[in-house]
Amino acid sequence: MIAVMLADDHTLVREGLCRLLERAGDIAVQGEASNGADALRLLAERSWDLLVLDMSMPGRDGVDLIRQIRRDYPKVPILVLTMHGEHQYAVQAIKAGATGYLTKDSAATELVQAVRTVASGGRYLSRALAENIAFDRHGDTGAQPHLLLSERESAVFLHLARGLNNADIGRLMFLSVKTVSTYKSRILVKMRLRNQADLVRYAIRHRLVDDQDGTAL
């Protein structure tokens, strides 16, 4: 029996995934977490055959969480199950230590297949995502990363570059903290940065903010 822990902040999503996986017969969901802290606590309590992880939970950045899990619990394989279908997210997750990556719009049979594959020591990417990663050669790779951001992403980027936290940005832009966190994760992935400190350094280096007072230029 494959002992699975589900980490997703949506209760209905977890309930649906539990029913779907347990119908397979050889998979048992034996733990659930709604955020990164809960996931780390459950990982410390016992051994697991697989962690199915959403990258967009409240709190820490998903890529940072994967890095910590890989460092502290290297034997636990991680299957990312997320709404983010852009291949940049998959690349970042895999580089951080995930062994599988699947989007939430995948078929139920594919999820079961991915769980079995990753839990048994293999790696899993959906065929479409693997092809996108392998054959994406058409983007403007010479463009500066911040120029690839959308208008809303650029606004969040500048607030982050000035040192504001997610709650402050949410109040300024009338967004939930979770939405800001999602934008932040998307920005870091698109710009290939590790954290907000790297983002601040990038903004100063490219003269997008003033390094003396943190204001946008």
pLDDT digits (tens, 9 = 90+) for 96-138: 899 999 988 888 888 999 999 999 999 998 776 776 665 554 4
pLDDT of 58 reads: 76
Which class would CATH give 2-135?
alpha beta
User: Helix %, strand %, coil % for the chain, to 5?
Assistant: 50, 15, 35
pTM, to two decimals: 0.64
* pLDDT, tens digit (0-9, with 9 covering 90-100), for 131-183: 666 555 444 445 678 877 888 888 899 999 999 999 999 999 999 999 999 98
145-205 belongs to CATH 2.40.420.20: no
Q: Is 33 in contact with 60 (CB distance < 8 Å)? A: no
Q: How many residues does the chain have?
A: 217
pLDDT of 113 reads: 92
Whether residue 78 has pLDDT greater than 50 = yes
Range(s) for CATH 3.40.50.2300 in the chain? 2-135
**Amino acid identity at 126:** S
- From CA 8, how far away is CA 29, in angstroms rounded? 13
- The DSSP secondary-structure symbol of 216 reads B
